[in-house]
Structures are given as structure tokens and as C-alpha cells.
A and B are shown apart, each in its own frame.
Chain A
Amino acid sequence: MRNFIIKLAVLFPVILICFAGCRRSAKTSLTIAGSTSVQPFAELLAERYMMEHPGVEINVQGGGSSAGIRAVQNRICDIGMSSRPLTPEEQNLQQWTIALDGIVLIVHKQNPVRNITLKQLQDVFSGKIRNWQELGGPDQKITVITREEGSGTRGCFEEIVMKDVHFAADALVQDCNGAVREIVASDPAAIGYISFGLVDERVQPLTVDGITPSESTITAHIYPLARKFLFLTNGEPSTLARSFLDFVLGPEGQKTLADEGLIKVAP
């Protein structure tokens, strides 16, 4: 018995070291970096791709759109991710639109307000407008719901609507689209924003500047809160990057993205 325990005690670290040493060394690897909005989708795509192609390792990192663009320009990563359009100086990169997304403003079913302007949106979310009356609704304090710091949807909303204005400090913060939708569905005074694919009949979507968020207005870039999710490469992509891009733009990748609530760019 005693011998057994001693043997075990000696063997245990040895086994541990063995396991550490046996980590599969990938022959081929791909690094993707950039937008935190695209990151979760890219991670999902990478996971699916790696499942089909054993031996390939894809690293997906965040850092933001601008960091991703800089990284791919300096060839630090193979593919950059961006959720904002490229500036004229950045046009030397090759870009692939992998999906489209719209951010939809939602309110409670009973709320009579149906339209909101971009300026009003900024005022509501910064706390300048605090009552529904100012938007043509009932005399009721607005419950503003935003997303947590670092969220891509919040980042995009900030970029298009808030610009340099801060969110109101007393705005409720929820950590996923589902929670925002749940609150709006139950609170007559609430307003929140969620990804296009997650709007359902329990909440009332608002038109922004008179434009209805729909697949066609988002695809045509008429809806102001629409954005493209871009993959970027510096020059021609490598064989592996090419294969991954084909997978993402192919039926399976596009279906994965559509299932997550984005709008497909290819059938």
C-alpha cells in the first residue's frame, strides 16, 4: 500500500510532464486578428474549419478593427477582421465581405413610438432625452438599455450613433442580445438595440430616419445602422488563407453566419 502511494506520487508529475509535452504541434497555422464584433463569428468559423481539416490551427484574436487592419498591413497576421469600411489609404488591402449585420432599435409592443432619428437616438442614449413624451410617446421615463463595454454591437452603435458622446451612466447594462430583448419585451418604457437576426415578434422594431431595418435595406446599405463584416489580406492570400476564405464564403460558412443572425452575402 505504502509503496503504491509513493509510486503514484512519483509517477504523477511525470505523467503531467508527458501530457504537457504531447501537445499536438500544428504543421500549418493561420492567424486572424481584428474587430471584436467579427471575432466571435470568426472563432466559430475557425472551429468548424478546423474540425473538417485536422492538423490546421487557426488563431483568432481581438484588438479592434483598426488594430486588425494595421496587423495585416504589417503582415503580423494572415487575415485581418474589420467591421468598419476601409479608409482611402487602406485600400491597398484585399477585402472580402463575409456578412452583413444591422443593429435594430427595439421598444415594447405597447409603445406607440414607431420612428426615431439618429440625433434623437444619441440624445436618448446619452441621457439628454429622458421622457417618451419628447419622442411622441406617453409621459413616461425612458429605460435605456445598452450593452457592456467591449461588446462589438455596442462599439458599432457608438461609432454610428454616439460618436464622441458618452452613454448615460444610469443606463442599464446587459451582456447579451437575448437579455436586452427580454427586458424590452417586458418593460413598456424600455428601449434597446440588438442584432438584426435576433428581432422577434415579442418586441417592436423602430424605423430609423424613416427606414425600416430589413434584409433588403441592410443589403442595399440604406439602413443607417448597417455594417459589413470584412476579412482583409495583404496581397494574394496564401493557399491556407484562400481555403479558409472559400469555406467562409461557401454555403457552409454562410449558413453558419446566417444561423448566428447575420445576413448572408452569398447564397
Chain B
Amino acid sequence: MKEKFFEKILLLCALSAIAALFLIALFIFYEGLPLIFRIGPQNFIFSSTWAPTKGHFGILPMIVGSLEVTILALILGGTLGLACAMFLAEFAPRWSVRILKPLIELLAGIPSVVYGFIGVLVLVPLIRRTLGGPGFSVLAAGIILGIMILPTVIAISLDALNAVPLSYKEGSLAVGATRWQTLYRLTLPAAKSGIIASLILAMGRAVGETMAVIMVAGNALIIPKSPLEPVRTLTSNIALEMGYASGTHQEALFATGVVLFIIVALLNTFALFALRRKV
């Protein structure tokens, strides 16, 4: 009897999380969809003039910008993080793992505004001096986000690598494979689902991160042709303009939220499918 009761309570708690998601989605769509249909979804998504107070609502540069920044962050943070996880799992001495892992996880505890601040004061002037351009750029945002997703990639990949049964490795080593061969021919494929999960979570953080990106990306309304050009992401667009927005302008920001929501949902769905097919 008591068992059943607590089961129900837990079910209720679990459902409330889903209810929260559902309500948020409902609200965003309710506020944003009317504008999208008034001006036409293709005009909203494929036009590149954004001047909401003058009646131009085109968010193509921001969609492209969001994707570019996210992909760059995944390339930088993903490779670096995966390499780090592989080192910690296979080659680093036990005692150093015990020190390094908590230190890396500490990266996740640094507030994003601090990353942005360091980016503005150090990274942006560095890019401006060495590579040219205004410094506020896709590259700056990608690097900052790449560092921000490191703890997610490393922690989850490391857990996945460590979860591969010892007997697999023993078998591989017994037939004469080196540690490196064992790692990339056996351990990595065996830990694949966990590694992909870590990249999905990292991607979620990169798409959703706002504060640090606003500070280093420059927020210009162009489709960047080179990594040195400034860029505005979907999240930055909402955060930048919500302070003053009212009426249609506010609706346009909610509509931006709708697109962001759909993009994140699509990315997650693709990732899940990829995961299911290959494992």
C-alpha cells in the first residue's frame, strides 16, 4: 500500500517535469506562431533583413549564425574533449585522474558571463591583432563555447569509456594488440553511444548559451562568410532586444524562440535516431 503511494508520488513528480516542458512549448508557440503565419513562414525563415520596428522579420542570418557557432564549438570542444577523455581513461596514471577529473568538472561551475568577460578582454583583442577583422567573430564565439562544453564532453565520455567491461580489453591485449589499437578499435566503438550522448548534450549547451555569446560574437545582422566576421545567434537576438520589445517586436522575439525550439528538437531527434541505428 505504502509502496504504491510513493510510486504515485514519484510518477506525479516525473509528470510535472513533462508538464513544465509542455506548458513552456505551448506558451512560446501561442505567442510566436501568429506572427510567423501573418508574414509567412518562408518570409520569416529565409529572408535576411531583420528590422522588427520597421516591419522586416527575417531571421536567416541568425539561424545560419547559430549553426555555424555551434558546429565550430563542437569541432573544437568535441575533439579536444574526446582526446582528453581518451587520455584520462587509458593512459593517465590513476593518481592524476583523481586530480584532473574534478578540476575539469570545475570548468562547468564557472558562470558564463565570466567566460564572456575573459573572451572580451583577452580572446577578442588577440584575434583582432593576429588575424584581423573586428575580433568579435564566429571564431571567438566558437572558441569560448568550445571551452564551455569541454566538461560535458569529457565527463560523460570518460564515464562511457570506463564502463566498457575490463574483459573486452583483456581479450584484446591478450591477442597482442597495443593499448592504442585496443582503444580505437575496441573501447571507442564499445563506448560509442555514451560518447554521442555527450556530444548531444554539449550541442544543447552550445545552441542555448547566450550571455557569453552576446559578449564576444559582435551580434551583427549578416550571414558570416568567414570565421572572422561578426555573427548573431538566435538566443542572442532574443536576449539583446527583449528589454525594449513590445507589440509585434515582442511577438517576433517569441517567433525566434519557436524556431530555436524546433531546431533544438530536430537536432535531438536526429541524434537519437543516429544513436539507435548504429548501436
Contact = CB atoms under 8 A, between A and B. Distances in A.
Interface stretch (B90-98, B102-110, B145-153, B217-225): B217-225
A172 B219 contact: yes
Contacts of A166: 51
B128 A173 contact: no
Contacts of A152: 244
Q: Say which size band chain A's interface belongs to.
A: 20 to 34
B220 A170 contact: yes
Please indicate which of the listed interface residues A151, A169, A179, A182 has the most CB atoms of chain B within 10 Å of its own CB. Answer: A169
A7 B224 CA distance: 59
Interface string B213-236: 011001111100000011010000
B5 A2 contact: yes
Contact of A62 (B121, B222, B246): B246
B244 A169 contact: no
B269 interface: no
A149 B239 CA distance: 12
A95 interface: no
Contact of A182 (B53, B120, B128): B120
A148 interface: yes
B208 interface: no
A187 B240 contact: no
A61 B244 CA distance: 10
Contacts of B221: 169-170, 173
A171 interface: yes
Contacts of B247: 63
Contacts of B243: 150, 175
A187 B134 contact: yes
Given A170-B230, A172-B230, A149 B249 contact: yes
Interface in A159-200: 166, 169-175, 179, 182-183, 186-187, 189-190
Contacts of B120: 182
B137 to A, nearest CB: 10
B52 interface: yes
B244 A173 contact: no
Nearest to B224: A170
Contacts of B239: 175
Q: Say which size band chain B's interface belongs to.
A: 35 or more
Please indicate which of the listed interface residues A2, A166, A174, A175 has the most CB atoms of chain B within 10 Å of its own CB. Answer: A175
A36 B50 CA distance: 19
Nearest to B220: A170
A150 B244 contact: yes
B51 A149 contact: yes
Contact of B241 (A62, A149, A169, A187): A149
B254 interface: no
Contacts of B125: 186-187
Given A143-B134, A149-B53, A170-B222, A175 B240 contact: yes
A265 B230 CA distance: 40
Interface string B60-88: 01000000000000000000000000000
A23 to B, nearest CB: 22
Interface in B232-274: 232, 239-241, 243-247, 249
B230 A150 contact: no
Contact of A170 (B128, B229, B244): B229
Contacts of A36: 244
Interface string A88-122: 00000000000000000000000000000000000
B63 to A, nearest CB: 15
B135 interface: yes
Nearest to B252: A149
B222 A169 contact: yes
Contacts of A143: 134
A82 B215 CA distance: 31
Given A148-B244, A152-B244, 16 more contacts: A143-B134, A148-B219, A149-B241, A149-B244, A150-B52, A150-B244, A151-B244, A169-B220, A172-B220, A172-B230, A173-B220, A173-B240, A175-B239, A182-B120, A187-B128, A190-B134
> Which 8 residue pairs across A and B have the least CB separation, nearest first?
A150-B244, A173-B219, A172-B218, A148-B240, A143-B134, A170-B222, A169-B222, A169-B221
24 contacts: A2-B2, A2-B5, A148-B240, A148-B241, A149-B249, A150-B53, A150-B244, A150-B245, A152-B244, A169-B220, A169-B222, A170-B220, A170-B221, A171-B220, A172-B134, A172-B218, A172-B219, A173-B220, A173-B240, A174-B219, A175-B214, A175-B240, A179-B215, A189-B134
